[in-house]
Amino acid sequence: MKQRIEGLEARFGFVLDICDMRFGRPENMSHGSLGTAEFGSFPPVAHPLVWKHPVSGRKSLMVGPLHLIEMLGMDRDEGDPLLAELVAHATDDRFAYFHDWELDDMVLWDNWRTMHMAFGTPPEYHREVQRTSMRGEHDMGRLL
């Protein structure tokens, strides 16, 4: 599989509603309203399935399912089963970390090697998220 996918690209697009995910959508997942936030326009992009970390040089499978649309250069009859298999592998619980949140917790991760997803907040709780990203000098992918 590593040899098969080396050099292949997938198309990603901005998917606002998890119910519109094409691959890896968790069963029985619901969500609340995102309100009136304006997210602007995000053009589709092509990203390689295999990324090479800019510092360590280690390779990673990058198939974040939320915005994953389709394989480039393949019919959906061929590309969709491949992406479904890769997403199922990448999101297998064997590779997952689930954080049991407590007050004042902070979690950090390397966005070059980690897919992440919030599973939602029970309606009786208030969730406040503050995100910080560090700017890098390494571009990945291309606009379509």
pLDDT single digits (tens) 83-126? 999 999 999 999 888 888 888 888 888 877 788 777 667 778 77
Residues facing 143 on adjacent strands = 45
Query: Residue 121's closest CA among 94, 93, 91, 101?
Result: 101
Residues facing 51 on adjacent strands = 60
The pTM of this model reads 0.82
For residue 17, the one-letter residue type is: D
Range 61-65 average pLDDT:
91
Q: How far is CA 66 from CA 15, 17, 26, 56, in A?
A: 7, 9, 11, 26
For residue 24, the one-letter residue type is: G
Structure token digits, residue 106 = 């902070």
Q: Which DSSP symbol is given to 61? A: E
Q: Which residue has the tokens 């897919």?
A: 115
**How would residue 127 be classed by pLDDT, with cut points 50, 70 and 90?**
confident
